[in-house]
Structure 1
């Protein structure tokens, strides 16, 4: 049976970072925020507010791999972001394969009659939910 840890997932990007929270035992996430980032660096005050509000036990950071499993140039920045989370908030961060999460989130948005674009923060939040759900599914195997 899965533990009951509180999770916070991040759909990492250079310009935007989607955030979702959830419980490991439940296995699904709830999108909470879309943070503006500059070269992958968010406003750490906004992150601190989210951490304070939700008190996660574990951070999950999406790892933007290529479809063939090789690393993209963004992987380095995502890992750096994860290390900063660990250092600032003294909680572990785990990297999660995020292949196709943004694509799936955009497809869901289209299916709901919305046209996703850069202003659609729901896509980033949903991608973070999918990262959290992917990790929960693999952790329960």
Structure 2
């Protein structure tokens, strides 16, 4: 069974999620501070993923934005540090989907506390990973 780690890169925070190919589902793991390579490396060591997935932020029309270049650099740094294959995934609408998931969890009673900024990042990473696994079919 293949296990994957996904990252939703941001200038302040990096959402992360882990998922497996067998179920095709993922779950968020604690959000990381951008640039905290020791924490990122601990996460990779802890889960021993087969590959890493990084969300590629694009505008609605598919064009790149300033953070796109930074996300590509982050993905390349991950590849070099972890010595694992890194897949880039179009992450358009992942934050909106994450917001919908969190709203649903609050409304359904699965989440009793207020939503924190890091919650959205982790859920976005989950959406990115589940989308990537679904596309692999």
Normalization by structure 2: what TM-score?
A: 0.89
- Give the distance between the partners of 1:87 and 1:35, measured in 2 at CA: 19
**Shift of the alpha carbon at 1:26?**
1.6
1-structure distance, mates of 2:19, 2:100:
22
Query: In structure 1, what is the equivalent of residue 54 of structure 2?
Result: 61
Structure 1 runs not aligned, ≥5 long: none
1:95 counterpart = 2:92: no
Q: CA deviation at 1:115?
A: 6.1
Q: Distance in 2 between matches of 1:136 and 1:84?
A: 22
More helix by share: 2
Task: Report how many residues are paired.
Answer: 131
Aligned to 2:20: 23
The normalised TM-score by structure 1 is 0.87
Is structure 2 residue 4 aligned with structure 1 residue 11? no
User: Partner of 2:55: helix, strand, or coil?
Assistant: strand
Q: Would you say 1:34 and 2:34 are equivalent positions?
A: no
User: Where has structure 1 moved over 6 Å in runs of 4 or more?
Assistant: none
Describe the superposition over 1:23-65 as per-residue Cα deviations: whole angstroms up to 9, x where unpaired. Answer: 122211111120112xxxx211001110110001100000001
Alignment partner of 1:128 out of 113, 125, 130: 125
What's the offset of the Cα at 1:120?
2.8
